[in-house]
Amino acid sequence: MMDRNVIAIAEHRTLPIPPAAARGTGALADTRGRALHDLRISVTDRCNFRCVYCMPREVFDADYQFLPHGELLTFEEIVRLARAFHELGTEKIRLTGGEPLLRKGIDRLVAMLREALPGVDLTLTTNGSALKAHAAALKAAGLDRVTVSLDSLDEATFRRMNDADFPVAKVLEGIEAAAAAGLGPIKVNMVVKRGVNDHQVVDMARHFRGSGHIARFIEFMDVGSTNGWRMDDVVPSAEVVQRIGERFPLEAAEANYPGEVAQRWRYTDGEGEVGVISSVTRAFCATCTRARISTDGHFYTCLFAQRGYDLKSLVRGGATDDALAAAVDAIWRRRSDRYSEIRTAATPREPKVEMSYIGG
Ligand code: SAM
């Protein structure tokens, strides 16, 4: 029988769960005054790509043990947790992974979330490989937008990076299908790794200029502990902006909302904009309002966290909706993470949860 006051919510610690009456006293904020606005939910730890910076094939090989199906949150459990987060202020939900379109019935999950949370901004990040097949159904189910990852337009470079021999053209088809279905404006994310695809930065910008889609350039990050991250491999966003600006003049644009992750740069000739995400060279921990739920239902308060809080056990242990919300509330109030601000030469070697499991 579960102790109602102290519920084990992590392998390594227990947290006192405040009574429901203790919640709602003032807006929810963590120890640094950051609200809980965004939730990323990883719906599968599997992916059909083996991107060298995310799921390197040497580690994620044929012997790699992915989560057994019973460990994954069910759609009903995902909706319950999403509702609890929404009750505490979450207005944006992003489905991710692994590759979220590999999760069977993903359209049904989108429909369930849409029905439960009609006003929430509901988005999904995908590698685009199955987007052409899914775009219309995702839109019909109530998805607002998609973000598509594409690391190069050069065939050989892209295939080398996804390490699954996947062609560029299929991802571009997925992007066009999503746009046609009304899932735009589409953001196209390129992780820039020095000496691997940085020669493609200007081509990527050129390709999406004037298309209505927004190319975004992400600094290669030290997420997880399998991608062999080195600072030398990072191309600072300032360099990306300079390279694009030399060819197509840019001016800084205002953030769309406080705490926006990407810095926006607009083409001075009116042909749209690009974004840069500078987690390494310009940490944005101070405004980070993002929570993450891993595929197996652990709650992480930082992308670079070493451990999470086991919400699945709470859900499966019979916790009420109120107890769930109280647990999330208590965890968020104790949050103090600011990994990117305090990154040192040593921290990238610390064991951290893998991106495919926690969700990008
Ligand atoms: N499979 C989906 C996809 O490819 O977009 C969703 C999951 S993926 C982990 C989410 C995003 O994280 C992708 O844009 C990916 O490029 C990015 N990502 C993964 N590892 C990264 C790293 N080490 N540094 C920067 N971005 C990374």
> Could you tell me where the DSSP H helices lie in 73-167?
75-87, 106-116, 131-141, 155-162
Say if ligand 1 is within 6 A of residue 125 CB.
Answer: yes
Contacts of 3 (CB under 8 A, 6+ apart): none
Give the whole-angstrom CA distance, residue 257 versus residue 112.
27
Contacts of 165 (CB under 8 A, 6+ apart): 159
The maximal CA–CA distance of the chain, rounded, in angstroms, is 66
Give the whole-angstrom CA distance, residue 291 versus residue 310.
14
Residue bearing the CA closest to ligand 1, atom 5 = 126
Tell me the average pLDDT across 36-61: 95
* pTM (predicted TM-score): 0.92
CA–CA–CA angle 349, 355, 360 (5° rounding): 130
Which range among 65-69, 263-267, 281-285, 297-301 shows the weakest confidence by mean pLDDT?
A: 281-285
CA–CA–CA angle 31, 222, 310 (5° rounding): 50
Say if ligand 1 is within 6 A of residue 357 CB.
Answer: no
283 C-alpha to ligand 1 centroid (Å): 17
Say if ligand 1 is within 6 A of residue 174 CB.
Answer: no
Give the whole-angstrom CA distance, residue 86 versus residue 188.
27
Q: Please give the number of the atom of ligand 1 that sits closest to the Cα of 219.
A: 25
211 C-alpha to ligand 1 centroid (Å): 23
79 C-alpha to ligand 1 centroid (Å): 24
Say if ligand 1 is within 6 A of residue 330 CB.
Answer: no
pLDDT at 25: 53
Phi and psi dihedrals of 76, rounded to 5? -60, -40
Q: Give the three-class secondary structure for 39.
A: strand
Choose the residue to mutate in 53, 131, 219, 281 for probing ligand 1, maximizing ligand atoms within 8 Å of C-beta.
Answer: 53
54 C-alpha to ligand 1 centroid (Å): 7
Q: Please give the number of the atom of ligand 1 that sits closest to the Cα of 224.
A: 23
Tell me the average pLDDT across 32-46: 96
pLDDT digits (tens, 9 = 90+) for 327-352: 999 999 999 988 888 877 677 777 77
pLDDT at 321: 95
Residue bearing the CA closest to ligand 1, atom 10 = 360
Write the DSSP assignment of 197-236 as a string of letters: TGGGHHHHHHHHTTSS-EEEEEE----SSSS---GGGB--
Tokens representing 218 are 């992400």
Say if ligand 1 is within 6 A of residue 191 CB.
Answer: yes
Give the whole-angstrom CA distance, residue 335 versus residue 37.
14
CA–CA–CA angle 344, 350, 356 (5° rounding): 110
Say if ligand 1 is within 6 A of residue 43 CB.
Answer: no
Give the whole-angstrom CA distance, residue 287 versus residue 338.
10
pLDDT digits (tens, 9 = 90+) for 98-153: 999 999 999 999 999 999 999 999 999 999 999 999 999 999 999 999 999 999 99
Question: In this structure, which amino acid lies at residue 13?
Answer: R
Query: Residue 42 in contact with residue 355, Cβ under 8 Å?
Result: no
Give the whole-angstrom CA distance, residue 247 versus residue 171.
25
Say if ligand 1 is within 6 A of residue 279 CB.
Answer: no
